[in-house]
C-alpha cells in the first residue's frame, strides 16, 4: 500500500517536513504519484522505522490501509 507523506508522518509520529527530509536525504524511498504528491510504500516505511529505531504505529497503519 502507498502512503502520502502526511500519513507516513502520522504513523511515525513526526512532521511531514521531517518525512520530506528523510526522502530528500535518501534515507526513505519514495516516488512521485503526480507533480505534487510523493508516496511511500508501507513496507518501506516499516523497514525505515526499524532501521532507525523509530516508533511505527501499527494500529494507525492498519486503519489507513483499510480506507
Query: What is the CATH number for 32?
Result: 1.10.10
**Domain span at 20:** 2-65
Give 12-56 pLDDT, tens digit per residue: 999 999 999 999 999 999 999 888 889 999 999 999 999 999 999
Residue 66 has pLDDT above 90, yes or no: no
Query: pLDDT by residue (tens digit) across 44-64?
Result: 999 999 999 999 999 999 998
47: burial class by Cβ within 10 Å (0-12, 13-18, 19+)?
middle
How many folded domains does the chain comprise?
1
Q: CA 14, CA 36: separation in Å to the nearest integer?
A: 20
Amino acid at each position: 500500500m502507498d502512503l502520502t507523506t502526511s500519513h507516513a508522518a502520522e504513523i511515525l509520529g513526526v512532521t511531514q517536513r521531517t518525512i520530506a527530509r528523510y526522502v530528500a536525504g535518501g534515507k526513505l524511498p519514495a516516488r512521485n504519484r503526480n507533480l505534487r504528491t510523493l508516496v511511500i510504500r508501507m513496507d518501506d516505511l516499516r523497514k525505515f522505522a526499524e532501521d532507525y529505531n523509530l516508533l511505527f504505529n501499527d494500529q494507525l497503519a492498519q486503519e489507513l490501509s483499510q480506507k
